[in-house]
Amino acid sequence: MDMVHAWMIAQRDLVLEGSAISRALDYSLKRWAALSRYLDDGAVPIDNNWAENQIRLWALGRKNWLFAWSLRSGKRAGAIMSLIQSARLKPRNP
């Protein structure tokens, strides 16, 4: 991974400022410690696909639940949905 990091740094100097590739390289280099953390600890997953799949139904449902009668109701519904999904991730018996 050190070679990949060095390559990214070298490529960053070669690309035009403000281009899509420069923004992608800047994003990756800025977050390099977090992106490579899974190498230090085998228990850390390489991606967060599992977590994203858990909230997919809620994200898709936003279009279906567009009208919550008021902003306050929408915020409450969002908070409840977030709480439910968080509880599913950490199953406990209250």
87 or 92, greater pLDDT: 87
**Distance in angstroms (rounded) separating the CA atoms of residues 50 and 39:** 19
pLDDT tens-digit readout, 3-30: 999 999 999 999 999 999 999 999 999 9
Residue 66: its pLDDT value, please? 67
User: For the whole prediction, is pTM greater than 0.75?
Assistant: no
62 DSSP 8-state letter:
H
Tell me what the mean pLDDT of segment 79-85 comes to. Answer: 82
pLDDT tens-digit readout, 38-81: 888 888 888 888 878 877 877 777 666 666 677 787 788 878 88
**Distance in angstroms (rounded) separating the CA atoms of residues 76 and 44:** 32
- Domain chopping of the chain, boundaries: 2-39, 49-89
